[in-house]
Every structure is written in C-alpha cells, then in structure tokens.
Amino acid sequence: METIKISPRGYCHGVVNAINTITNLDHLSMKLPVYILGMVIHNKQMVNSLESLGYITLHDPSITRLELLDQIESGTVIFTAHGVSPEVYKKAKQKGLSIIDTTCDDVFKSQNVIKEYLNKGYEIIYIGKHTHPESEAARGISNKIHIIEKMSELYNLQIENIDFGLP
C-alpha cells in the first residue's frame, strides 16, 4: 500500500482563523456570557477546550442558527467561519448582543457572488447539504436560492424559464 501525503492538510484556513480569533479574545473586555453559535469545528476536543476557557457552544443540528439565537438573552455571540444569514445578524443586533464575526473570507466571497447574480435577476442553485451552516447562511440571503444536495432534487425545482434538459 502506498501512502500519499496531501497538502495542504488539516483545518481550512477559515476555521484556523476562527479558532485563533476566539482563543485570543480578551474576556475582560467582553459582555458575558460568550456564546459560540454552532460548532466552530466538528471536533469534540476543540469544543471542550473552548468550553474550558468559558465559551458556551450552542449546537443543535435540528434547528437553525436563527432559532439557536433564542437561547441567548445577553452577552456576546460569536459567528463561526461558516457565516450566518442576514436575519441572524439582524436578530443578534436587535437583542443587543455584542457580535464577533469569524466568517471565513471565502464564505464572504461566495455570498458576494450570490448577491451579485441575484442583483442581475438570476435565481441561484447552491450545491450543498441542506442542514450545513454555510448552506443555511446562503439560503437566508434570498428566497431565490435553491439548495440542492442530490441530483434528483433538480426535478422538483420551481424556477421559471429554465430547462435543465433532464429526462
């Protein structure tokens, strides 16, 4: 058997940036408690490490990040590298929460491309997992964004003036 080392390897740069940002925050200058909206990374050791520093991770894959915000009454909320929808940002501000946004630059770029094409009148087909936080953030930009996880879902799309050429 041949072992091939891939490079780069490890966490994506957005997650590395989020972890570095979070671990270097000055708790003394922050509104407490401090919540992380969703898992920074799907790594139990890292979550436990952040919780040992006083962070509270809110994670429930059965509800959206907008719904997770209902569990926060005051303090600071940290948005993970996955990004959040405009509604999540707005709701956090309305609740008077301090916001620390660690959204990955690549996620911002993707969201900006989505907005650019929406402004040109396009509807967007976004390929990703329905329940993934990045998909949720993208879907929250507009109701003209359609999340597709499986090819079979293309058959059920309701987009005017489009022919996918599917049998």
Q: Residues with catalytic annotation?
A: 134
CB 40 within 8 A of CB 22: yes
CB 147 within 8 A of CB 135: yes
DSSP secondary structure letter of residue 35: E
Helix ranges (DSSP H) in the chain: 13-23, 44-52, 65-68, 86-94, 105-119, 133-139
Rounded Cα–Cα distance for residues 165 and 65 (Å): 36
Rounded Cα–Cα distance for residues 21 and 30 (Å): 14
* Residue whose tokens read 């609740």: 95
List the Cα angle 31/35/36 in 5-degree steps.
135
CB 80 within 8 A of CB 107: no
